[in-house]
Structure 1
Amino acid sequence: MFRLKSSVVIIHITGWLICLSLPLLFISGQTNDSRAFSMLRSPNYLIFLLTYIAIFYFHSTVLFPSLFFKKQYLLYGLSVLLLLMLVNFLQPFDHLVSQLRPPRRPPGSEWLPPGPPMPGADHRPPARLDFVSDFLFLLTISLSIATETTHRWRQTEKRALFAETRKTQAELSFLKAQINPHFLFNTLNNIYSLAMTHSEHTATSIMKLSNMLRYVTEESKGDFVLLENEIDCLNDYLDLQKLRLTSKTIVSFSITGNPGIKNIAPLVLLPFLENAFKYGVSNHEASEINIVLDCQQSTICFFCTNKIFRSQQDKNSTGIGISNTRQRLDHLYGNRYTLDINSANGIHNVSLLLPS
């Protein structure tokens, strides 16, 4: 359905008031103001207005989009030439000012009413070009071309922006779809181990997994979620991991500040925890995983440290989770976040700073 924006209507009305007031300004300089403005009620002025308005919108809605943009340049040029010939035939400006011209008479003679024409005499005025009408025609065509070209350029820019937005959304959905099966695979392995040992914590772990899946599939559909909901998901994940750990591993998760109504991208912290449990847990040596979430007024600071027990080759392989998390952070936060991952003296450190 065709709809007009109020701004477009105002621009068109303003443009026509400016363009069509030019003849009045020109004529008012040639005669007194009362005679110039009396033309506003004359039929010739109405014909003058309708001529150029019709040319403008006929060119904008028919000729330019149907011929020029479809590369029918010859037919377009012929159509514009026919319109120019029509304007020269109508001579709208010449007819408009003709009513202001006084009748011509010889110098020093009194005016007499015209007598009957002489036999064989031809009193038709010689054909001439109406240069002002031609100039206004070229101005109207130029404005039409500029208006339509600008409109199409804006439409193309909007379509490109919309396509880019859809592409970004598709990429984010794809990255989240990769993260979720990765998390589910690891968690189901843990529950399988509990079931094989007939652990009494099997039912509890299944319930926590159910809560996490509900969060992943229902609550985290948008680009951002409440930080409190993300913390609940992390707590469920940590509880599931603790069920399989021995007393040699200590897990510390502390929260400082007030999460309040802060927002965060869903599941951006979970891959770092998965990485910590993958490389920072040993069944033979004491290990410790420290996790800190600091909720400041305008930022969310996440820190995670763990000892490295895997080989150098495994240590450099952070997996698809960390790689996708970086891409999601780039898409959602741009250059407004800081991620620092480093290893020193056998300790793996993760520091993530997000705006809230």
Structure 2
Amino acid sequence: MFQLKNVFIIAHWVGWLLVFSLTALFLSENRSLTGVLLDPNLWTFFLIYIFIFYVNLIWLIPSFFFKRKFMQYFVFVLITFVLIVFVKPFDRLVIERNRYEMRPRHRFEPHLPPPVDFKGNPPGFKPERHEQEREARNFDVVSVFLFGLVWALGIALKMNERWRDSEKRVLQAETDRANAELSFLKAQINPHFLFNTLNNIYTLAVTNSKKTAASIMKLSQIMRYVTDEVSEDFVPLANEIECISNYIDLQKLRLSAKTEVIFEVNTLDTSQKIPPLLLMTYVENAFKHGISNHDKALIEISIKSGKDSLHFICRNKLFSTFRKVERTGIGLSNTRQRLQHLYQDRFNLIINDDSGVYQVELTINN
């Protein structure tokens, strides 16, 4: 922001120096540099347009134009226009330049004819009074054109500045909304996950299972992962795998022999980072909707990671109650939103439910 402001300041300085240099060059015919720089007509011309430009840019546009006070704004435009027409800053430059052009540049020999000015008049020629009055009544088209140009440039710059500020506000609002949505998604995921896990522990405790203590330890590890790391945008893949492994062990405690679980991990770099509970959501969904008390069930989970990629597959049998329950769930849609927020176009998520099998295939490219 600071650098951009400096660029605009430098651009203003360069622009006005260019205008001043071109104006001084216009007056430099047959004159010394000191004479040009001390010419009051040059400074009058230059300061008039600087004053018009910055009064319009800093005060009139923000105070009247942007606040839709168009009548007041038009009054200021009209007053400034009348002043330009009356003062004729460019005509003053032309008259001053012509006055110096009419001066002889060399000492001529007596036998040579005297030099003439650009109108063919001899040195010392003065126009009649009616000609001076006619020149005074001339309309200074160039000054009016420069007035319109400077005024329009001020409006264009202020509109561009306003557009950039609006874009920044939109981007900031989108960022804030994305962060708020991501926090909300995590808040939705965590209670849902913990609720299901605690139900499993409750079942073990009711049946006085000897595996209750070990299950509580695994749950404590899961809760440590959830409470300590879920607030981060990314965590090591190894932590997510450990959480999934503990979760599967807890689920196996309540599964019958009709349900088979295959969990395969093939990772070259477990320090690779992913969003917390990203894969866990699909694993939890498979256990929630992919098992039956009466039919055989198979849940397959595969995690493969390379140096710059992650490939995850979760597959389970599709039972008749899945579609009804899945429509009311929020975990899967939330996970897709998290992926879009964090990876944008660097992920590919394919979900199929063909042939009675529900399969999630996720590929992430880092």
Q: TM-score, normalised by structure 1?
A: 0.82
Partner of 1:60 in structure 2?
A: 57
Partner of 1:350 in structure 2?
A: 360
Which stretch shows the higher mean deviation, 181-190 or 342-351? 342-351
Partner of 2:172 in structure 1?
A: 162
Aligned CA distance change for structure 1 residues 77 and 344 (closer, same or farther; 3 Å): closer
1:18 matches 2:18: yes
Partner of 1:314 in structure 2?
A: 322
In the alignment, the residues of structure 2 paired with residue 193 and residue 269 of structure 1 have an alpha-carbon distance, to the nearest angstrom, of 25
Structure 1 residue 78: Cα displacement: 1.1
In the alignment, the residues of structure 1 paired with residue 346 and residue 354 of structure 2 have an alpha-carbon distance, to the nearest angstrom, of 26
In the alignment, the residues of structure 1 paired with residue 333 and residue 252 of structure 2 have an alpha-carbon distance, to the nearest angstrom, of 25
Of 332, 335, 342, which residue of structure 2 is paired with 1:332?
A: 342
- Structure 1, residues 2-58: CA drift from partner, whole Å, max 9, x if none? 997122112222332333444345445xx34x5478423434433332221121111
State the superposition RMSD in angstroms: 3.4
1:179–1:321 Cα contact (<8 Å) kept: yes
In the alignment, the residues of structure 1 paired with residue 121 and residue 207 of structure 2 have an alpha-carbon distance, to the nearest angstrom, of 129
Q: Which amino acid aligns with 1:227?
A: L
1:46-125 equivalences under 5 Å are 46-100=43-97, 101-102=99-100, 111=124
In the alignment, the residues of structure 2 paired with residue 11 and residue 253 of structure 1 have an alpha-carbon distance, to the nearest angstrom, of 63
Structure 1 residue 122: Cα displacement: 11
Q: TM-score, normalised by structure 2?
A: 0.80
In the alignment, the residues of structure 1 paired with residue 341 and residue 2 of structure 2 have an alpha-carbon distance, to the nearest angstrom, of 35
Structure 2 SS opposite 1:252? strand
Partner of 2:9 in structure 1?
A: 9
1:275-294 equivalences under 5 Å are 275-282=285-292, 287-294=297-304
1:273 matches 2:287: no
Structure 1 residue 203: Cα displacement: 3.7
Structure 1 residue 187: Cα displacement: 0.8
In the alignment, the residues of structure 2 paired with residue 109 and residue 286 of structure 1 have an alpha-carbon distance, to the nearest angstrom, of 117
1:264 matches 2:274: yes
Which stretch shows the higher mean deviation, 231-240 or 243-252? 243-252
Which stretch shows the higher mean deviation, 43-52 or 98-107? 98-107
In the alignment, the residues of structure 2 paired with residue 321 and residue 109 of structure 1 have an alpha-carbon distance, to the nearest angstrom, of 96
Structure 1 SS opposite 2:249? helix
2:282–2:360 Cα contact (<8 Å) kept: yes
Q: Which amino acid aligns with 1:329?
A: L
Partner of 2:310 in structure 1?
A: 300
Structure 2 SS opposite 1:269? helix
Structure 1 residue 71: Cα displacement: 1.4
Aligned CA distance change for structure 1 residues 3 and 83 (closer, same or farther; 3 Å): farther
Aligned CA distance change for structure 1 residues 269 and 37 (closer, same or farther; 3 Å): farther
Of 184, 202, 205, which residue of structure 1 is paired with 2:194?
A: 184
Q: Which amino acid aligns with 2:268?
A: N
2:24–2:37 Cα contact (<8 Å) kept: no
- Structure 1, residues 235-291: CA drift from partner, whole Å, max 9, x if none? 232232233334554433222132344222222211221122223335566644321
Moved >6 Å (runs of 4+): 1-4, 103-110, 121-124
In the alignment, the residues of structure 2 paired with residue 57 and residue 6 of structure 1 have an alpha-carbon distance, to the nearest angstrom, of 17
Structure 1 SS opposite 2:359? strand
Q: Which amino acid aligns with 1:7?
A: V
Structure 1, unaligned runs of 5 or more: 115-120
Partner of 2:216 in structure 1?
A: 206
Aligned CA distance change for structure 1 residues 298 and 245 (closer, same or farther; 3 Å): same
Of 218, 233, 242, which residue of structure 2 is paired with 1:223?
A: 233
In the alignment, the residues of structure 2 paired with residue 4 and residue 282 of structure 1 have an alpha-carbon distance, to the nearest angstrom, of 63
- Structure 1, residues 49-78: CA drift from partner, whole Å, max 9, x if none? 222112111101111111111111121111
Structure 1 residue 300: Cα displacement: 0.7
In the alignment, the residues of structure 2 paired with residue 50 and residue 124 of structure 1 have an alpha-carbon distance, to the nearest angstrom, of 26
1:27–1:36 Cα contact (<8 Å) kept: no
Aligned CA distance change for structure 1 residues 35 and 108 (closer, same or farther; 3 Å): same
- Structure 1, residues 298-351: CA drift from partner, whole Å, max 9, x if none? 22101122344x4x1335633322232233333333343222333455543322
Structure 2 SS opposite 1:256? strand
In the alignment, the residues of structure 1 paired with residue 231 and residue 176 of structure 2 have an alpha-carbon distance, to the nearest angstrom, of 15
In the alignment, the residues of structure 2 paired with residue 5 and residue 236 of structure 1 have an alpha-carbon distance, to the nearest angstrom, of 55
Q: Percent identity?
A: 48
1:136 matches 2:146: yes
Aligned residues: 344
Structure 1 residue 111: Cα displacement: 4.6
Structure 1 SS opposite 2:338? helix
